[in-house]
Amino acid sequence: MVTASSTKIGFIGLGVMGKSMVKNLMEAGYKLNVYTRTKSKAEELLETGANWHEDAVSLAKASDVIITMVGYPEDVKKVYYGDKGILKNAKKNTYLIDMTTSKPSLAMEIYEDAKKEGLIALDAPVSGGDIGAKNGTLAIMTGGDKDAYHEVAPIFRVLGERISLHGPAGAGQHTKMANQIAIATNMIGVCESILYAKKAGLDAEEVLATISTGAAASFSLSNLGKRMLERDYEPGFYVKHFIKDMEIALESAHNMGMPAPGLELSLKLYKELADMGEADSGTQALIKLLAHQAEITL
Long-range contacts of 25-32 (CB under 8 A, 24+ apart): 25/155, 25/158, 25/159, 26/50, 28/4, 28/158, 29/4, 29/5, 30/4, 30/155, 30/158, 31/7, 32/8
Report CA-CA distances (Å) from 60 to 51, 68, 84, 132, 267. 13, 11, 10, 27, 36
Task: Catalytic residue, from 176, 198, 244, 288: name it.
Answer: 176
Residues 6 or more apart whose Cβ sits within 8 Å of residue 264: 250
Has 19 been annotated as catalytic?
no
Residues 6 or more apart whose Cβ sits within 8 Å of residue 45: 14, 19, 22, 23, 26, 32, 34
The residues annotated with a catalytic role in the active site are 176
